[in-house]
Amino acid sequence: MENDYSPPFESKLVRRLFDGQFAITAEITPPVSGLAEDVLTKAEPLKNLVDAVNVTDGPNANVHMSSIASSSILQANNIEPIAQFTCRDRNRIALLSDLLGASALGVHNLLILNGDDPTAGDQPEAKPVFDLQSHELINMAYKMTTQGIIPSKSVKVTEQGISANTKSLKTPTSFFIGAADTPTSEYSEKWVQSIKKKNRAGARFAQTQLCYDMNVIRSYAKLLIEEGVAEHMFFLIGNGPLLSNKAARWMRDNLWGVIIPDQILNRLEQAQDQKAEGIKICTEQIQEMSEIDGISGVHLMAPINTKSIPEVLAQTNIQNRQSST
């Protein structure tokens, strides 16, 4: 990995990836609650089992406890978080202020996204902001860390230094920044330019949408290597224990970008215990992915089946994780 930026802090996720070992992250949705213990109840089953826990930011444009607050609670309880930031709800003043707050709270891992359309959520009359696109916010967070500045359109960095109208930070932030991607088996100029733009902006890892097609994953990894992207970013493939054929079919039909081949649906349908079969499928695929060049890890998502993730990990045997945690 010829990664040209090492984060200015130590963490389990950073150490795992930069050591060339297979990383495992998982995801929780913050509760619709004002109680810290409710966040911990969701995340505790994952403690010491994964390298970091993603905390979603208003998933599906629904109201939940804030990602920053939830991430801070996890951090204080020795569960390493990845705070998601969406561009949907806040202008750049609010987003940059929240980035400063996240860093001050010791939240260093970020996943920066555009965010879902609010008309699909539980506050359909909410006004979308989208003052920034995800690659723009990625670049701002990156410069806050590497250059110690708050960027604006008027910022100019020359060989002589930073122009007078640049706002410097008293203390730079400390961020390890990620972006989202969707596995693809075919070359697309639009896809290549999109992921390269995020990388140039400062993204150093990517977590993908759910994909259960190993042929697509192998082709995707080959493309990442051929296009030179895997030299500069770490890619974690979205996966997770499927609860049943019915749940898997709904996900494929209703969630954008989810890839679940008929072979997997048929395997679930024919299983005597579909939940157990979903765990077995996930375990097998994690093992396969750990042996594919260009793939750095797996990102486990199971919003209605989170309790099965520990069982998946108990059955997973990845050699380079034996020194974990």
pLDDT of residue 246: 96
Provide the total of helices (H) and of strands (E) in the chain, helices listed first. 11, 12
pLDDT value at 158 more than 60: no
pLDDT of residue 293: 97
pLDDT of residue 100: 97
Domain boundaries, the chain: 12-321
Minimum mean pLDDT among 75-89, 127-141, 148-162, 186-200: which range? 148-162
pLDDT of residue 323: 44
Question: Residue holding tokens 């998601």?
Answer: 84
pLDDT tier for residue 96 given thresholds of 50, 70 and 90: very high
Name the nearest CA neighbour of 194 among 130, 258, 134.
Answer: 134
- Beta-sheet pairing, 297-300 with 234-239: parallel
Tens of pLDDT, residues 121-142: 788 888 889 999 999 999 999 9
Question: Between the CA atoms of 78, 42, 88 and 90, what dihedral angle is there, to the nearest 10 degrees?
Answer: -50
Averaged pLDDT for residues 157-182: 79
Domain 12-321 matching CATH 3.20.20.220: the answer reads: yes
Residue 325 is encoded by which pair of tokens? 């945690």
Reduce the DSSP state of residue 142 to 3 states and report it.
helix
Residue 300 is encoded by which pair of tokens? 């486990």
What pTM, to 2 d.p., does this model score?
0.92
Query: Dihedral sign, CA of 255, 72, 314, 321?
Result: positive
Residue 261 is encoded by which pair of tokens? 């081949």
pLDDT tier for residue 159 given thresholds of 50, 70 and 90: low
CA 79 to chain centre: 16
Q: How far is CA 126 from CA 6, 122, 168, 247, in A?
A: 38, 9, 33, 29
Rounded Cα–Cα distance for residues 257 and 183 (Å): 8
